[in-house]
Amino acid sequence: MSYTRALRCRKCGQEYPVQPLGLCDFCLSPLEVSYDYKAMSMSREKLAQGPLTMWRYKDLLPVEGDVVDINTGFTPLVKADRLGRELGLKALYIKNDCLNPTYSFKDRPVSVAVTKAREFGFDTVACASTGNLAASVAAYAAKADMKAYVFVPADIEPGKLIGTAIYNPVLVKVEGSYDDVNRLCAGLAQRYHWGFININLRPYYAEGSKTLGYEVAEQLEWRAPDCVVAPAASGLLFTRIQKGLDELSMLGLIEPVNTHMYLNQAAGSSPIVNAFETGTLHVNPVEPNTIAKSIAIGNPADGYYALSVVRQSGGGACAVTDDEAIAGMKLLAQTEGIFAEVAGGVVIAGLKRLAASGTIKKNELTVAFITGAGPKTQETVSDIVQPFTIQSSLESFEEIVGARV
Amino acid sequence: MAKKQVMFTFPEGLVKEPIIHNLGQQFKVVTDIRRADVSENKGWVVLELDGEEREIERGIAWMTDKGVRVDPVIGDIVEG
């Protein structure tokens, strides 16, 4: 059963009936789903009986009936002892969200958004993306038997298109800058009767990422971490991890949350970190210039709210260079066997700094969120391939490799 | 007629110019400010532009030429 009550403006509090609408008509701020928490009756036992997907938390999500799902969520929470030893952390966990059906956390919000699109009677969904969101929307549209329009910037790497094109969406490459793509999509969303995933479906889309917070708490046997380290692009994921934890606490399923939230960005696209460091609450847009394209968002829609979460939780924000991010990818792979995309490298590099500076203490229970899989951006670490080349003889092996055996 | 919601971000040096007033004077565009934060050396304004689509586009191009950053109010739509 759904406990969805209304859409509510995060800035001015104006309320709207549940509908495809992303912005408040009055102050043009983002809307979010409001629930009737008092009517909810939850227990750990009841939740544990649900499916081993994000939909075990269906009662906490804004959907009414059958859901569109391709088995998203309930990804592993791995105790990262080897990486922890490298970084000097004794209670480090990795939430490995690479292991979703389209290899990124985007399957969570998209599962909710496509379910909602179908409820609203849309026959078409759309999005603009540099890769992860595109693949997820195309996959979910295929499952829901809906048409998908996916807009990508023209300079996107061809390899990234394959993971989207395989699901057969209408794939549109747009000439021009990312800003041009933004402007075009804002216009398209006004003109066509589509469920635009991160425009008119954004309040519902956003809620899917809360399940990361729920899962981590449940996998830690119903407690919140002491520290969360997560990447930020639009800032939505970051705010929703916190919201997930807060809701569980409000429902009495975990103790009051005192989690320090640490936000990481790539230095070439770090508007939220910039705002944190300068002490302002306004996130000034920047022109992204980083290889971490999945988090290269110059004008983050939820930047203000992500910044608020950082400040209110007593957390922090740091930006790392592309070289540090690549080193972070390698470190994670070579200690924990997890091949993350560049955004994951940004998280590990940020975690390394936080641990080295003593900001995160060695005994604090820390969860680092890895949100996308490495094969999506494998060209960024192609220099790692340096095989020995030998003849097919024992002599050749022993001559060239032998000394290392 | 069309409506467009945008955020203008003003660099240092443009804060003292009545640039939104001039936008409404030079183009057939009605400007409706909903939120803003302007200090002595920088600022941003969230507003709705109302007019013919072509006039709105011309007005936005003029603002961009003046050095104002113009973004969709919803933030970046392109995501990772």
Q: Percent of chain A having pLDDT more than 90?
A: 87
Does the global pTM surpass 0.90?
yes
- The two three-digit tokens of residue A173, written as one number: 């490459």
Least confident of A52-61, A78-87, A150-159, B46-55: A150-159
At A154, the pLDDT band (50, 70, 90 cuts) reads confident
Which conformational region is residue A279 in: left (phi greater than 0), alpha (psi within -120 to 50 degrees), or beta? left
Decide if A351 contacts A78 (C-beta within 8 A): no
Q: Which residues contact B31 (CB under 8 A, 6 or more apart)?
A: B20, B23, B24, B47, B48, B49
Q: Percent of chain A having pLDDT more than 70?
A: 100
Instruction: Say whether pLDDT at A353 is over 90.
Output: yes
Domains of chain B: 13-72 (3.30.70.260)
Residue A338: half-sphere exposure toward Cβ, Cα within 13 Å: 31
Q: What is the pLDDT of residues A1-21, one digit of tens each?
A: 789 999 999 999 999 999 999
Closest CA to A63 of A203, A170, A258, A248: A203
For chain A, which residues make up each domain, given as ranges? 77-104+209-384, 106-203
DSSP letter assigned to residue A373: B
Sheet holding B43-51, edge to edge: B29-38, B43-51, B2-10, B69-72
- The two three-digit tokens of residue A228, written as one number: 């969360």
In CATH terms, are A77-104+209-384 and A106-203 the same topology? yes
- Give A-chain residues touching B9 at CB under 8 angstroms: 284-285
Residue of A nearest to B74 (CA): A301
Instruction: Say whether pLDDT at A81 is over 80.
Output: yes
Strand partners, A263: A230, A317
Residues 238-267 of A with CB under 8 A from B: none
Strand partners, B9: B44, B69
- The two three-digit tokens of residue A336, written as one number: 């924990």
Decide if A278 contacts A307 (C-beta within 8 A): no
DSSP letter assigned to residue A104: B
- The answer to whether the Cβ–Cβ distance between A22 and B74 falls below 8 Å is yes
Among B5, B72, B80, the residue with its CB nearest the CB of A294 is B80
- End-to-end CA, chain A: 61
Q: What architecture (CATH level 2) is domain A77-104+209-384?
A: 3-Layer(aba) Sandwich (3.40)
Q: What is the pLDDT of residues B13-65, one digit of tens each?
A: 887 789 999 999 999 999 999 999 888 778 899 999 999 999 999 999 999 99
Give the Å distances, CA to CA, from B32 to A25, B21, B53, B54.
12, 11, 16, 18
Distance CA(A83)–CA(B21), nearest Å, equals 57
Q: What is the pLDDT of residues A201-232, one digit of tens each?
A: 999 999 999 999 999 999 999 999 999 999 99
Q: List strand residue ranges (DSSP E) for A255-392, in order.
A: 260-266, 316-320, 366-370
Q: What is the pLDDT of residues A244-278, one digit of tens each?
A: 999 999 999 999 999 999 999 999 999 999 999 99
CATH 3.20.20.140 fits A106-203, yes or no: no
- The answer to whether the Cβ–Cβ distance between B78 and A233 falls below 8 Å is no
- The two three-digit tokens of residue B29, written as one number: 């565009």
Closest CA to A261 of A244, A249, A248, A274: A244
Q: Is A153 on the interface with B (CB under 8 A)?
A: yes
DSSP letter assigned to residue B7: E
Rg (CA), chain B: 12
- The two three-digit tokens of residue A126, written as one number: 């759309």
